[in-house]
Amino acid sequence: MIEKQIYICSTCEKPYEEKDQAVYCEAAHLHPREIFSAGYSKTGRGYRIPDLLTVKFSDDSVEHYRLDQPEDDDGVFDFS
């Protein structure tokens, strides 16, 4: 029997045979640090939950995300 050790990125859970590859993968992911603003619309789901978010990441970059309403009411949101 041969034992095989794998390393898994703790962020995306991708498996690697080499530890340094998993460490590199973990370091490559950006993580949200702060939500700068949350915008609410006056109607629909945006009335209760923010439908526009501005997020600052671990590399100090800032991204904007808008909540798109799903076509059916399955409760799953699509962020773009």
pTM (global) more than 0.75: no
Q: Quote the CA–CA distance of 80 and 42 in Å, as a whole number.
A: 20
For each of the chain's 80 residues, which pLDDT tens digit applies? 999 999 999 999 999 999 999 999 999 999 999 998 888 877 666 567 788 889 999 999 999 988 775 544 555 555 55
Tokens standing for residue 36: 């700068």
List, as one string, the DSSP characters of 6-29. Answer: -EE-TTT--EESSHHHHHHHHHH-
Return the exposure string of 10-44: e unless at least 16 CB atoms fall within 10 Å of the residue's CB, then b: eeeeeeeeeeeebeebeeeeeeeeeeeeeeeeeee
